[in-house]
Amino acid sequence: MKVLVADKISAKGVAWLRKQPGLDVVEAYGSSPAKLLELVKDVHAIAVRSESKITAEVIAAAPLLKVVGRAGVGIDNVDVDAATERGVIVMNTPSGNTIATAELTFTHMLCGARPVPQAAASMRAGQWDRKTFSGIELFKKTLGIVGLGRIGGEVARRAQAFGMRVVAFDPYLAPSRAKTMQIDSVTLDELLAQADYITVHMPLTDDTHYMIDEAALAKCKRGVRLFNCARGGIIKEAALIEALKSGHVAAAGLDVYEEEPLAADSELRKLPNVTLTPHLGASTAEAQDAVGVEVAEQIADVLNGGVIRNAVNMPTLDAATLSALGPYLDLGAKLGTLVQQISPEQVASLRITYWGRVVDLDVNAITRSVLRGWLKRISGDTVNFVNAPFLLERLGVRCEVVKSTGESDYTELVQVEAVGTDGGVRSAAGTLIGKAHSPRIVSINGRAVEVVATGKLLIIENSDEPGMIGYVGTLLGKDRVNIANMSLSRQEPGQTALMVINLDSEPSDAARRELKGHAAIRLAKFVHL
Residues 245 and 161 in one domain: yes
Domain that holds residue 72: 1-94+283-309
Q: Is residue 461 a part of any domain in this protein?
A: no
Would you list the DSSP string of 496-518?
Answer: EEEEEEEESSPPPHHHHHHHHHS
104 in the same domain as 9: no
Residues 289 and 233 in one domain: no
The predicted pLDDT at position 322 comes to 65
Helix axes 98-113, 116-124, angle to 10 degrees: 70
Give the span between the Cα atoms of 97 and 382, in whole angstroms.
Answer: 11
Per-residue confidence in pLDDT tens, the chain, 529 aa:
999 999 999 999 999 999 999 999 999 999 999 999 999 999 999 999 989 999 999 999 999 999 999 998 878 899 988 887 787 889 998 878 899 999 999 999 999 999 999 999 999 999 999 999 999 999 999 999 999 988 999 999 999 999 999 999 998 777 777 888 999 999 999 999 999 999 999 988 888 999 999 999 999 999 999 999 999 999 999 999 999 999 999 999 999 999 999 999 999 999 999 999 999 998 899 999 999 999 999 999 889 877 788 888 866 565 566 677 888 999 999 999 999 999 988 899 999 999 998 888 878 889 989 999 999 888 876 676 656 787 888 888 999 999 998 888 899 999 999 998 888 899 999 999 988 788 999 999 989 999 999 899 999 999 999 999 999 999 999 999 999 999 999 877 878 899 999 999 999 999 999 999 999 998 888 998 8
* Whether residue 255 sits in one domain with residue 129: yes
> Which residues participate in catalysis according to the annotation?
231, 260, 279
19 in a structural domain: yes
pLDDT of residue 361: 82
- 335: Cα separation from own chain's centroid: 17
Q: Are residues 50 and 141 in the same domain?
A: no
Are 109 and 210 in the same domain?
yes
Q: What is the number of structural domains in the chain?
A: 2
22 to 19, 25, 41, 103: CA distances (angstroms): 9, 10, 18, 39
Q: Is there a single domain that holds both residue 201 and residue 138?
A: yes
Looking at residue 88, its pLDDT comes to 87
Helix or strand holding residue 479 (H, E) = none
Domain endpoint, select from 220, 253, 276? 276
The answer as to whether 459 is a domain residue is no
d(CA 178, CA 459): 33
- Beta pairing, strands 197-200 & 184-185: unpaired
